[in-house]
Amino acid sequence: MTRTLRLDDDVDAALEKMAGERGESVNSIAGRALRRLVEWDRLAENAGVVGISSVTLGRLMDSQTPEQAGALGELVGKEVWKPIIISKYGEVSLDSVLKSIELIARYMGRFDFIYSTEGSKKVVTIRHSGGIKWSRFYLGAATLLFSQVIGLSFNPTTTEELVSIEFDAPESATRDA
Amino acid sequence: MKQSRARTFRLEADVDEAIARLAMEDRASVSQIANRALKKYVEWDRAPTNRGLISVPSMLLVRLMAELNEERAHELGRWAGKELFLPNIMAGYPTMSLERAEKSIRMLGTYGGRFTFDHASEGGKHVFTIGQKMGRNWSAYYAGALEVIFERFLGRATRKTFSENMCVVEFRARPSS
């Protein structure tokens, strides 16, 4: 659908310039920016999400033991991700958790999210480059959401670069992969 | 008064509806909401200060920084000032300038979401203030980062003061500057 917007001249000129540099249309850049606004920016603002250098964040995480990193992940799962999921989807279900992880991966830029399913067997994989402490952090958050909130039993695999959880759930409980 | 122009976009229906909803919630026009989002996108997306930044919940940063003592937080800030802030401020320019430093710090504050920033000057004396809500160690961190920027690269001795929610760095400009 079409929508006419009144844009400040400096914003309009910057959009034109960006479009020229990237070989894209102004419309596609604006569409992406506005989608980000409605899908993520407001939610992130309400949840107190802020920007920081990945290097500084890595240095801060260095001061944690793997066990502390896991406990922090659980805390963030409870105090940040769970409210985000409820705010966005109205409930914490397997489907809403999966959709939220996908959203977080897309806009927070810290990990890739892979979801695969074969019948009732599901595998959620978070791939990152932060090392074992970040794997423990993500496992902590996953434990809180998948196990403590949804009540699923899962088998985790943790390496330096990924955390993967495997569980059984009926087909009706999840969206299409 | 700002000049503006009308531009027509083709938007996906869900995005268009969501922006209209946000505008109603904020008691603003759709154009005002879109302008803010597009301004952020074109200013921040290309800014050198944004390079290497990732999004995290502020709560996680508070917890991680709480593990350090004030001295280590200050040292981490000095390291970040030298290794991260300065290269970004200098990106594409042969020399450092107060104006460029101020613009970069202000943009990081506005779009990074971690702090507010103010600069006042009178009679050659400059006062930079960072306001933030993540605790005293973060104030020590910012004090370290600002010290490095202004002392080492602008060659000006600074005086710092910091508290739970605020960090103030002062210096006197050379008569010629």
Pair A165, A128 in one domain: yes
Tell me the C-alpha distance between B118 and B167, whole Å: 11
> How many helices (H) and strands (E) would you count in chain A?
8, 6
Share of chain A above pLDDT 70, in %: 95
**Token match 């600002």: residue?**
B146
In this prediction, residues A143-170 reach a mean pLDDT of: 92
In this prediction, residues B69-98 reach a mean pLDDT of: 88
Which pLDDT does position A176 carry in this prediction?
43
CB contact under 8 A, B31 and A7: yes
| Domain annotation covers residue A112 | yes
The SS3 call for residue A14 is helix
| Domain annotation covers residue A58 | yes
Which pLDDT does position B175 carry in this prediction?
62
Domain that holds residue B98: 56-172
Pair A59, A33 in one domain: no
B160, HSE (Cβ side, Cα atoms, 13 Å): 22
| Domain annotation covers residue A132 | yes
A with B: how many residue pairs have Cβ under 8 Å apart? 199
Tell me, yes or no, if A31 comes closer than 8 A to chain B by beta carbon: yes
Pair A131, A63 in one domain: yes
Pair B36, B98 in one domain: no
| Domain annotation covers residue B4 | no
CB contact under 8 A, A7 and B34: yes
* Number of domains comprising chain B: 2
Pair B91, B22 in one domain: no
Tell me the C-alpha distance between A31 and A25, whole Å: 10
Which pLDDT does position B123 carry in this prediction?
87
pTM: 0.88
- Between vectors from CA B58 to CA B53 and to CA B59, what angle results, nearest 5°? 140
Segment A66-119, tens digit of pLDDT: 999 999 999 999 999 999 999 999 999 999 999 999 999 998 878 999 999 988
Pair B28, B100 in one domain: no
| Domain annotation covers residue A164 | yes
A interface mutation test: which of B2, B3, B4, B7 has the most A CBs within 10 A? B7
Buried b / exposed e over B28-52, threshold 16 CB at 10 Å, is eebbebbbbbbbbbbbbeebebbeb
Domain that holds residue A41: 10-46
Pair A127, A98 in one domain: yes
Tell me the C-alpha distance between A26 and A11, whole Å: 11
Pair B155, B94 in one domain: yes
pLDDT averaged over every residue in chain B: 89
